């Protein structure tokens, strides 16, 4: 099953934005292979079935997933720290989404941010492994008490950039992140390259960033086709 074609190859073609706010994993880079290897080891160590649980781990803070599993007798903070350490050293297969490097290079330095549920150290390690330039602003797991699907992370990113979050474009791939963007009142673009199955969304979607760039005028960022 595949997504139906988007109405336009350029999402939100008639609108300008004050900034672009990006989720990281599954949106600017793919770290699925690494994350699922580490999580599979951890889940099996606790007698849990990775096949059932792995689809639920993406787009939310590690500690929130661990708490949701309600495993008796564990310390969620310590377990989350173990997973983070393992993910830091297991970076095989981490790579940029096609076209992402050139797309973010087309953005003004103060016109974008990464808003991720990963820790700062892990986010920086994965960006380096993927060959992506870090933005001027990172919002990571340490910055926000209520993670996605709560809108706090996107609201805070816009605030730190000095922008109106409802005038910022959110790039997301996971349901929790899409919900966070929606709850913040921001327009959203869904990146689908890592999806194994289509998700139900009202937002425009693109597979990756190939053929896409930005143009700047009147203090606004507009998405545009290359060429």
pLDDT of residue 21: 98
Per-residue pLDDT band for 84 (boundaries 50, 70, 90) equals confident
In tens, the pLDDT along 41-71 reads: 999 999 999 988 988 887 677 888 999 999 9
Is pLDDT above 90 for 173?
A: yes
- Catalytic, 25? Answer yes
pLDDT of residue 146: 87
Could you please report the per-residue DSSP string of 158-225? HHHHT--GGGEEEEE-SHHHHHHHHHHT--EEEE-TT-SS----SS-EESSSTTEEEEEETTEEEEEE
Q: Say how far apart CA 168 and CA 18 lie, in whole Å.
A: 5
Over residues 5-33, mean pLDDT: 90
pLDDT of residue 33: 86
**Cβ(94)–Cβ(130) below 8 Å:** yes
Whole-angstrom CA distances from 56 to 44, 62, 141, 150, 213 are 16, 11, 17, 16, 32
Is pLDDT above 80 for 4?
A: no
pLDDT of residue 58: 73
Is pLDDT above 90 for 8?
A: no
Is pLDDT above 60 for 182?
A: yes
Q: Catalytic residue among 14, 25, 110, 208, which?
A: 25
The alpha-carbon radius of gyration of the chain (Å, integer) is 17
Q: Catalytic residue among 23, 49, 90, 152, which?
A: 23
Phi, psi values for residue 217, rounded to 5°: -160, 140
pTM: 0.84
């Amino acid at each position: 099953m595949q997504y139906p074609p988007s109405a336009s190859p350029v999402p939100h073609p008639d609108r300008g934005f004050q900034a672009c706010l990006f989720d990281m994993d599954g949106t600017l880079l793919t770290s699925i292979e690494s994350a699922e290897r580490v999580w599979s080891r951890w889940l099996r160590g606790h007698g849990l079935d990775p096949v059932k649980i792995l689809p639920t781990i993406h787009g939310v803070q590690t500690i929130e997933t661990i708490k949701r599993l309600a495993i008796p007798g564990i310390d969620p903070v310590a377990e989350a720290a173990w997973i983070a350490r393992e993910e830091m050293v297991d970076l095989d297969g981490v790579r940029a989404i096609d076209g992402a490097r050139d797309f973010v290079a087309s953005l003004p330095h103060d016109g974008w941010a990464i808003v991720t549920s990963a820790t700062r150290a892990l986010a920086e390690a994965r960006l380096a492994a993927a060959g992506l330039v870090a933005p001027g602003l990172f919002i990571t797991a340490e910055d926000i008490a209520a993670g996605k699907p709560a809108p706090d992370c996107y609201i805070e990113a816009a605030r730190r950039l000095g922008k109106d979050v409802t005038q910022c474009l959110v790039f997301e791939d996971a349901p929790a992140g899409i919900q966070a963007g929606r709850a913040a009142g921001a327009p959203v673009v869904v990146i689908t390259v890592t999806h194994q199955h289509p998700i139900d969304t009202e937002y425009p979607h693109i597979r990756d960033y190939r053929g896409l760039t930005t143009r700047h005028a009147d203090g606004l960022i507009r998405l545009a086709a290359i060429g």
